[in-house]
Chain A
Amino acid sequence: MSKKSASVWTSIPFWRRSAAWVTGVATVLLIWLTFDTMGQISMGSDEDLKNGVTKRIPAASVINYHIDYQFDDKRGHEVPVIGEKEPFFGKEWSAEEAAKLLHLGKLTSQAKNCMNCHTLLGNGAYYAPDLTKAWLDPKWNDGTMTGITGKASKEEAMAEFLMHPSQYPTHARMMPNLGITKEEAVALVAFLKHMSAIDTNGFPRNFSQSAKRLEGGTHAH
């Protein structure tokens, strides 16, 4: 490889130019796709919810609605289904109140370092259950946790559990007490309910199939 290369394949300027072009094109494509994705993942509005407009990330006021996770034949996986209105902690929250609550919930989820035990949207640590659809987990619906905590509704049971997790152990591996206040606990539940309404392209798949199968308590935990 003296001054003049024998072939283009051994020419440094050729590879330098190619590297620059490929990097440039990939970067431009990524930026273009990012603009499109930003549009699709920005949070919907309260009006969208009222008018039944489906958004990948609904407004915070989705906490006022019943949320389900159902198989969609066309898409071939489960999708969140936003249903009728239902009270959240016994009341309907205005759009502003709900947004404030979600803000506090998200902040608390970071301040308490949830992600270094749990996964959120599948990302985080693998020491505790994934929280993506935690709001929909049968554990909160089948009477187990409402029974243990002595609360009437699942949101109240979740808040109580979050405030005093090690008082309600279900396994040898427990959640530690993180000094979560009542206000923060309510906000965290709102954050979890909101997350369960996010369209995650079917993740997790066949969510909590175990619930049906294990009815009757075949597993003595």
Chain B
Amino acid sequence: MLINGQLKYESQKLAMNYFRVAIVLFGAQLLMGLIAAIQFLYPGFLFELFDFSVARMVHINALVVWMLYAMIGSVYYMIPDETGHEAVGIALGKLAFWILTAAVTVVVLVYIFIQVGSGSESTIWFINEGREYLEAPRWADLGIVAVVLVFYYNVFFTYLKSEKKTGIMTVMVANLFALAGLYLCGMFFTDNISMDQYWWWWVIHLWVEATWEVFVGTLAAYALIKILGAKREIVEMWLWIEVLMLFGSGILGLGHHYFWIGTPEYWWEIGALFSALEPVPLVAMFVHVLYDWGKEQGHAEAGGADTAVKNSPAMAWIASNAFGNFLGAGIWGFFHTLPQVNIYTHGTQFTAAHGHLAFFGAYATILIGMMYLGVQGAYGIKKMTMTFKSKMALFLIIFGVLGMTVALTIAGYEQVLVERADLGGGWDAFFIAQELPWYVQAQAWRLVMGIVTLVGFVYLAWDLLTIGQEVSQKESESVAATA
């Protein structure tokens, strides 16, 4: 993963840089999660030194930022393939990468060493904004906007330059415009907490349950063509159907966050109806990926080849994405999306269970798949097969995240019944539920499964660093042998 040797385009070399930082931040996310998980069991751990609030803030920020890095990387990687051109402003793009990386480093150092500020505007500007997921201080917000503008300039104008405008790039260009624009909804301060939450959800929900999902659809479409040689017309038709279903359900599905934040009751019906439909496109995406895989495999076998897959680790992660998205975002989301259920589950570990499996299943998986595609390109490998490390990474990370999700679901279930339904919430109810053995055991299992995930991550990072060299060596040896 450390060399770009065989990549022809600067845009793809830049993509590799984004992937490299993404994987480092992914590691940071897991370490912070580990600290927070330990604190649930041993609250004295790093108390008043590195508190839960700090670990959790860095945990979720590293998550969002590594995903954005991997997303930007994926787009820079596909631009030349989809447009036939180098990104138009590549020098500016490279500069933006270094500026963003420097800014992220400063923000993280401030989070870790300064942690909190006084109750003043200057804290919001320079330390943290204190709004979940959007903690980045305002100076960094403005920096992010500038960097994203450079990125979008590259995407948009390279697209305009291309002779044949592919469906994949058309969806990408339109969707990224919405994705980037939505960030602006999270950049103002208000004394009114309900107003604050209303617009905060415009960013969070319309990212992860609408524009990010369409982004994943676009990546999957690109990857299916790249890995399997799937037929572009079929893939792009599916992509439009997915856009229709994802935006048709996801945009008004936003209503399921407006049940209890001071907003009017009509959001109960709107939110329930549209968010209940949100799993439908995820089923469709799953079916689509498996269909194309089976179809191309059939063609390959009929033609005498043993496999249609040109990059088996990438394909494994993309198939995991197809199912993980449906399971984590679809099923685990649907569990608590109706207001009759949500009044009890809202703000419990149930949400954390869903959050873990959804971010992993819907996003982490496919972005890891894109990294493997990048490695294949960088080493000029014709057919990349899994190593032992690839398999260990795949198995341990999936098993670990599923385990954490099940543990957190059990913790949430106990919390819903004891803290909420039985005792009605509040200080005493909260701690009674937190201290019951069933809850504590669930948290213990979450920690164990978190460690499993971390071990899987070590295999993943190790594999990404070495697989290119290993497989390309084998490939050249076998070429030499046949010659």
Contacts and interface: CB of A to CB of B under 8 A. Distances in A.
B247 A37 contact: no
Given A26-B252, A108-B119, A10 B237 contact: yes
Given A113-B128, A121-B197, A37 B264 contact: yes
B192 interface: yes
B429 interface: yes
Given A110-B128, A126-B351, 17 more contacts: A12-B167, A26-B248, A41-B264, A106-B196, A114-B53, A120-B193, A121-B193, A129-B431, A138-B428, A170-B431, A172-B43, A174-B43, A176-B51, A198-B194, A207-B426, A210-B424, A219-B428
A205 B424 contact: yes
Contacts, number: 282
Interface of A: 1, 10-12, 15-16, 18-19, 22-23, 26-27, 29-30, 33-34, 36-38, 40-43, 56-57, 60, 99, 102-117, 119-130, 132-134, 137-139, 166, 170-174, 176-181, 184, 187, 191, 195, 198-211, 213-214, 219, 221
B118 A1 contact: no
B265 interface: yes
A55 to B, nearest CB: 10
B230 to A, nearest CB: 13
Nearest to B346: A122
Contacts of B460: none
A208 B426 contact: yes
A117 B117 contact: no
B116 A107 contact: no
18 contacts: A19-B244, A57-B194, A57-B262, A110-B129, A111-B127, A116-B135, A120-B193, A121-B260, A122-B347, A123-B197, A127-B39, A137-B426, A176-B47, A198-B193, A207-B424, A208-B423, A214-B428, A221-B431
B98 to A, nearest CB: 29
Contacts of B420: 204-205
B130 A112 contact: yes
Interface in B96-148: 115-121, 123-124, 127-132, 135
B135 A113 contact: yes
B247 A26 contact: yes
Interface string B337-348: 000000110111
Interface in B238-280: 240-241, 243-244, 247-248, 251-252, 254, 258-268, 270
B339 to A, nearest CB: 8
B39 to A, nearest CB: 7
Contact of A195 (B52, B53, B193): B193
Contact of B260 (A110, A195, A200): A200
B57 interface: yes
A37 B263 contact: yes
A125 B193 contact: no
Contact of B192 (A57, A125, A171): A57
Contact of B40 (A40, A119, A127, A171): A127
A56 B194 contact: yes
Contacts of A206: 421, 424-425
A65 B422 CA distance: 30
Contacts of B192: 41-43, 57
B326 interface: no
B131 A110 contact: yes
Nearest to B60: A116
A18 B245 CA distance: 10
A113 B57 contact: yes
A57 B251 CA distance: 25
Contacts of B427: 129, 134, 137-139, 170, 208
Nearest to B249: A26
A155 B123 CA distance: 25
Given A102-B191, A107-B119, A184-B118, A30 B262 contact: no
Given A23-B248, A204-B424, A126 B429 contact: no
Given A41-B192, A127-B56, A201 B259 contact: yes
A12 B428 contact: no
A40 B261 CA distance: 12
Contacts of A203: 259-260, 343, 346
B contacts with A: majority SS: helix
A127 B421 CA distance: 19
B3 interface: no
A19 B428 contact: no
Interface in B412-465: 420-432, 434-435
B130 A109 contact: yes
Nearest to B351: A126
A113 B40 CA distance: 18
B194 A201 contact: no
Contacts of B51: 117, 176
A111 B428 contact: no
Given A10-B237, A125-B56, A208-B425, A115 B131 contact: yes
A199 to B, nearest CB: 6
Given A22-B248, A23-B243, A111 B48 contact: no
A6 B458 CA distance: 50
A123 B132 contact: yes
A193 B254 CA distance: 28
A110 to B, nearest CB: 3
Contacts of A30: 251-252, 254
Contacts of A128: 430
Contacts of B267: 33, 37
A12 B237 contact: yes
Given A130-B347, A207-B424, A111 B123 contact: yes
Contacts of B421: 206
A215 B353 CA distance: 33
Nearest to A203: B260
Contacts of A191: 193
B347 A117 contact: no
B40 A208 contact: no
B349 interface: yes
A211 B425 CA distance: 10
B352 interface: yes
Contacts of B266: 33
Contact of A139 (B48, B263, B343, B426): B426
B194 A41 contact: yes
B116 A173 contact: no
